[in-house]
Structure 1
Amino acid sequence: MFFALFSLLLFLTSCKSEMKDNSDRFKKGIFEIPAGEGYSKTTIIRKDSLQIEEYEKIVSISNDSTTSEKRIKHIDTLYIKWKNNFFYSLKMKSPKKELDKDPIYVQITKVTDTSYSFTAKIGFSKFKQDGTVYKVK
């Protein structure tokens, strides 16, 4: 029993110390998320307890004979609250839809010198998204 508890404690502290070296550098600065399906590249500015996101939503418009794309610029302001160096939550400052009222929980799953991978979940829904954020400045 003691050996199992000691092994678990040793495992947890060794993982934590390895990740601890990569701590605060993602809490402030300018970041980017590459373009995805239906969205352009997202630029993120983080300072203090605010995160400002700027992106374009790409909408397909179809007429009888042609299809074109329309880009709609969006700027969202969110409150960011860090629980620790690897978990934070986001809350829309001015929600426009019902879904925007739910917090977004973000778990950092992998860290490199210039980026981190994450899994995000909206409120208590089943919606989950994985992605990568790159630090620009």
Structure 2
Amino acid sequence: MAYTLTSDLMTNNSMIDTQHKQLFDAINALLEACSKGQGRAEIGKTLDFLSKYVDNHFSDEEKLQRQYAYPEYEKHHKFHEEYKKIIRDLQQELGQNGANIALVAKVNTAIGGWLVNHIKREDLKMAKYIREHQK
């Protein structure tokens, strides 16, 4: 199942939505590779990209939150740190055990599923707060 930035996931902040789309694209590239039997070869590349990209994305989001004094900044920051840890743990597992189907499945659920839930539960709420305070 490919991840799509559907209307219910749109924050209406162009920077955040563009970055979320790029994260989905990276996860979808891994899923596409899996469907062609090339998931093991793609997983390291995907995890490396995600590790670097989420640092930038979360930094951008958190900068906005601080700029608008978002009251749930600390909570949101903890979610971001949790996500970065998940990626590091998956990278460590890749280094220890190599690429395997179980790891690819974990990436799909731990990375893709987490991201969708985080957008729905946290990012939409944060984006609404920022929109209300930009006026």
Scaled by the length of structure 2, what TM-score is found? 0.27
- Greater relative CO (CA pairs within 8 A, separation 6+): 2
Structure with greater strand share of residues = 1
Structure with greater helix share of residues = 2
Scaled by the length of structure 1, what TM-score is found? 0.27
